[in-house]
């Protein structure tokens, strides 16, 4: 074992470069470029980010394609030749300085660092991208594929959460290259699609991530990281722009009198239509309501005692049937809910996919029964007098439930609303397995 590690150390020393000028070709917001830049901060070597890099232009130039024939970013230009693939670039930068801690102090630490680098790439980054890319229109959106990506990501985050339960760093007692690559991959997720309601299931991952991004060397490159408020709505897949038609040759043998006529010129057609401003959500165009949903959410969250007298009474004082509507939902396939944790995960997944409506909705979901099959019932408040169309269109779980509008003139239905809001037990004669809130 000692001989093997000695060989690795010798090979590591043999590849060192001092006082070199490495140039990184990538945009200034590219999370894959951040890996090398943060590694450079820890090793103390100089990596210069190329100036005026324009994605889609700079990486299609002949000079760039000589360094990476498929035009992918980033590429590191070194005195010994180019290096592409972001993890390879980060590894190269980490090895530019001898005796730095980014690769650990033993062969087993080195192996564990490589292990977590692979995990960060194949289990974390890949599944974040499989979830995020179709939603922003860069791939076809397929709900079953999204559900599979989310399930795989949650499985990976659960494993990572367990590992970090008793650790500050992935390997050893200081930052390694594994932490740099893991954090950069998580940064895309946290800032674009992993809202607080999703990540709260993984408290050790949350603590680890915010610890890492606030380390001085990370913060210098990443700047201030803010967590996504919600999952982005699904956009249509982007179509490749059509090439311009070649100009038609002029006809030479036109009559002279026609040539003398002044012909009005048509405006030039641009290759791509200028981006249109994002349309407002129709719910934002509704008349103002006396009910401020955030005020109700705060009242719900902050009421710890006398819930009926304070929160429930406050709800009906606030509720505006002209600006909002109340809905009961009942899961259509309760006979399938034979395993408790699967049923709970099913409800959690539904609430996660409802993130797109967080600004316009409040919900309570009850999982009912002391033994299977478990019943799933819910109460939802939506802005507007109907369930918003964008929620029906973009959250496929909606069709798995029967939806019934609450008649607030019916005292029995109002009491059912009260009991669902306060997690009353027993509910309709049965025990509660769990209750989940969307707020």
pLDDT in tens, 40-71: 999 988 998 888 888 889 999 999 999 999 88
Whole-number pLDDT of residue 277: 55
Strands 81-84 and 375-383: unpaired
Q: How far apart are CA 280 and CA 371, in angstroms?
A: 46
Whole-number pLDDT of residue 417: 97
The CATH code of the domain at 104-222 is 1.20.1050.10
Ranges under pLDDT 50 in the chain: 1-19, 240-241, 243-244, 251-276
Q: How far apart are CA 352 and CA 124, in angstroms?
A: 18
Question: How would CATH label the architecture of 285-438?
Answer: 2-Layer Sandwich (3.30)
Tokens of 38: 């943060």
Q: How far apart are CA 164 and CA 345, in angstroms?
A: 22
Whole-number pLDDT of residue 345: 86
Which residues fall within 8 angstroms of residue 408, CB to CB, at 6 or more apart?
Answer: 319, 321, 326, 414, 417
Whole-number pLDDT of residue 15: 36
Question: How would CATH label the architecture of 2-94?
Answer: 3-Layer(aba) Sandwich (3.40)
Whole-number pLDDT of residue 158: 95
pTM of the model: 0.54
Whole-number pLDDT of residue 321: 96
Whole-number pLDDT of residue 429: 94
Whole-number pLDDT of residue 433: 94
Q: How far apart are CA 105 and CA 12, in angstroms?
A: 13
Whole-number pLDDT of residue 17: 40
Q: Is the Cβ–Cβ distance between 27 and 128 less than 8 Å? A: no
Which residues fall within 8 angstroms of residue 223, CB to CB, at 6 or more apart?
Answer: none
Q: Any idea where the domains of the chain sit in the sequence? A: 2-94, 104-222, 285-438
Q: How far apart are CA 273 and CA 276, in angstroms?
A: 8
Q: How far apart are CA 24 and CA 78, in angstroms?
A: 9
Buried b / exposed e along 266-290 (16+ C-beta atoms within 10 A): eeeeeeeeeeeeeeebebeeeeebe
């Amino acid at each position: 074992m000692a001989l093997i590690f000695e060989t690795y150390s010798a090979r590591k020393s043999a590849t060192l470069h001092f006082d070199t000028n490495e140039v990184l070709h990538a945009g200034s917001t590219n999370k894959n470029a951040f890996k090398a830049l943060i590694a450079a901060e820890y090793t103390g070597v100089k990596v210069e980010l190329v100036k005026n890099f324009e994605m889609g232009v700079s990486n299609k130039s002949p000079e760039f394609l000589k360094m990476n024939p498929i035009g992918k970013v980033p590429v590191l230009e070194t005195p010994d030749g180019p290096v592409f693939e972001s993890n390879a670039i980060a590894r190269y930068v980490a090895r530019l300085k001898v005796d730095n801690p980014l690769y650990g102090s033993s062969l087993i630490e080195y192996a564990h660092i490589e292990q977590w680098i692979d995990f960060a790439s194949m289990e974390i980054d890949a599944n974040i991208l499989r979830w995020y890319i179709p939603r922003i229109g860069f791939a076809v959106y397929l709900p079953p594929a999204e559900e599979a990506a989310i399930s795989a990501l949650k499985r990976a985050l659960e494993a990572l959460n367990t590992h970090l339960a008793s650790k500050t760093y992935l390997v050893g007692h200081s930052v390694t290259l594994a932490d740099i690559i893991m954090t950069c991959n998580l940064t895309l997720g946290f800032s674009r699609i992993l809202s607080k309601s999703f990540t709260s299931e993984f408290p050790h991952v949350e603590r680890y991530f915010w610890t890492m991004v606030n380390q001085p060397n990370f913060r210098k490159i990443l700047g201030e990281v803010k967590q996504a408020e919600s999952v982005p709505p699904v956009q249509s897949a982007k179509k490749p722009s059509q090439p311009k038609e070649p100009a038609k040759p002029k006809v030479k043998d036109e009559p002279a009198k026609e040539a003398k006529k002044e012909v009005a010129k048509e405006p030039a057609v641009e290759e791509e239509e200028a981006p249109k401003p994002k349309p407002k959500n129709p719910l934002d165009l509704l008349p103002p309501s006396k009910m401020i949903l955030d005020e109700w959410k705060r009242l719900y969250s902050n009421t710890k005692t006398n819930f009926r007298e304070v929160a429930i009474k406050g709800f009906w004082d606030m509720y505006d049937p002209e600006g909002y509507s109340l809905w009961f939902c009942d899961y259509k396939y309760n006979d399938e809910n034979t395993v408790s944790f699967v049923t709970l995960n099913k409800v959690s997944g539904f609430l996660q996919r409802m993130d797109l409506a967080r600004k316009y909705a409040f919900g309570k979901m009850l999982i009912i029964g002391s033994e299977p099959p478990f019943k799933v019932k819910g109460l939802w408040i939506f802005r507007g007098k109907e369930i918003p169309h964008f929620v029906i269109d973009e959250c496929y779980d909606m069709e798995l439930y029967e939806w019934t509008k609450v008649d607030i003139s019916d005292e029995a239905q109002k009491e059912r609303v009260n009991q669902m809001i306060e997690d009353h037990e027993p509910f309709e004669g049965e025990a509660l397995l769990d209750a989940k809130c969307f707020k």
